[in-house]
Amino acid sequence: MVASGRMDSEKNGQSRPRATLKDIAKVVGVSPTAVSLALNDKGALTDELRRRIKETAAALDYSPNPAARILRGARSNAVSVVINYFNNPFFRHFVLGLEEVLDRAGVSYSMSQTHDRLEKERELTRKMAEQGVDGLIVLNCSSEHEHLTAVSQTFSIPIVLISHALEDRFAAVQADNLRGGRLATEHLLSLDERPLFHIEGGWGKSGLINRKLGFVQAMRDARPDCNAEEACFPVEGLTAAAGYQAMAAIHEKHNPPFGLFVVNDEVALGVLTYCRHHGLHWPDDVAVVGFSDIDILETLDIPLTSIRIPQQRMGEVAAGTLLDLIAHPENRLCPPVLTLPVSLVVRESTVKQRRGLP
């Protein structure tokens, strides 16, 4: 068989270590420097020699040793993404956008999760920087920034924050939460005269606070005689279970019909479950608007009106910004904070719709 030589070398399992510049040099009969220059299309070499070198490099299945390059001060062409939880529903589309831009630039990325623990965030950002990444993307970071400043300075790498701008010290990409809050509230206001409440999740994270602010502003504009602050109920964590609890608290004090703007979709799901369990119908008894338009709504056919945030676009923009800051260190002095537009998606939790049968 023609392929038997290759088969043998595969079978014996003792394939020798990776080819290096020196190996190629020896085969071609030339200096390692020449090989380096040839492969990087630098220096002055005969076209003929360049060709021969590239040929043997390919034949030996050569790929440069990243450790050696990094040691020489080269870029690693790798960035790291640090997120609070991998199962953050936001994350999926975000990563899609990120991936596309990074792939195109030939930059690889790795990811890790902090479990929303500051200690882990400190540890991971530092570890990744030590490993030599060219930049960091931090999603839903804590509200601290000292460790980020330290890492960014010590290792001279840029950091881009997502969905949580931090004092203009870092580049950031976020959704227009304020406008989202207004959109949601104005939509509820447009339904009828029912009272409105907000289930808020604002403990320091600027994004969530802005959602509440949007609610308060819209209420003040439309119903100046109603104290919007008193219409806000806190939730104990951003989970469906917590939403269930919060809804129970509201239902205890107030009788339907009323409208609800909920800080995010997971919490809103808990609200819907409460309604199902207690015979409350939407939109007639309770009209609900969530935030984020997470994709399981569609998958599971849950008709929750929500504010859509351009997750994939945010990923693209974040990656683009990071790559720019890596390539142009001077831009790090005034890091951009980008706010992307959101939109309202109306579903049956606020407006009754005719369903077309399949």
Partner DNA sequence: ACAGGTTGATAAAACGTTATATCAACAATA
Partner DNA sequence: TATTGTTGATATAACGTTTTATCAACCTGT
The site that binds DNA (CB under 7 A) totals a number of residues, namely: 29
- For the chain, what is the total number of helices (H) and then of strands (E)? 14, 12
Residue 341 preceded by cis peptide, ω within 30:
no
Q: How far is the CB of 74 from its own copies (least distance, A)?
A: 10
- Given its own copies, DNA, none, residue 280, with its beta carbon under 5 to 8 Å by kind, binds none
The residue from 27, 37, 105, 111 that contacts DNA (CB under 7 A) is 37
The residue from 7, 68, 249, 327 that contacts DNA (CB under 7 A) is 68
Q: How far is the CB of 119 from its own copies (least distance, A)?
A: 12
Examine residue 42 and tell whether it contacts DNA (CB under 7 A).
yes
Examine residue 21 and tell whether it contacts DNA (CB under 7 A).
yes
Residues 77-116 that bind DNA (CB under 7 A): none
Closest CA relative to residue 339, chosen from 210, 158, 205, 200: 210
Q: Which positions touch its own copies (CB under 8 A)?
A: 10, 13, 15, 17-18, 61, 63, 65-68, 70-71, 76, 78, 80, 86-87, 91-92, 95, 99, 108-113, 124, 127-128, 130-132, 149, 153-156, 240, 248, 269, 273, 276-277, 296, 299-302, 357-358
User: In sequence order, what are the residues at sequence separation of 6 or more whose Cβ sits closer than 8 angstroms to the Cβ of residue 340?
Assistant: 173, 174, 175, 176, 309, 310, 313, 314, 317
- Given its own copies, DNA, none, residue 341, with its beta carbon under 5 to 8 Å by kind, binds none
Examine residue 2 and tell whether it contacts DNA (CB under 7 A).
no
Nearer to its own copies, 46 or 110 (CB): 110
Contact segment (CB under 7 A) with DNA among 36-44, 87-95, 240-248, 324-332 equals: 36-44
Q: Which amino acid is at 207?
A: G
d(CA 158, CA 160): 7
Contact call for residues 221 and 232 (beta carbons, < 8 A): no
Based on C-alpha coordinates, what's the Rg of the chain? Answer: 27
| Alpha helical stretches, state H, the chain | 4-11, 21-28, 32-39, 47-59, 66-71, 89-104, 118-130, 146-154, 177-191, 206-222, 240-253, 265-277, 296-299, 311-327
Q: Which residues bind DNA (CB under 7 A)?
A: 17-18, 20-22, 30-34, 36-37, 39-40, 42-46, 49, 62, 64-65, 68-69, 71-74
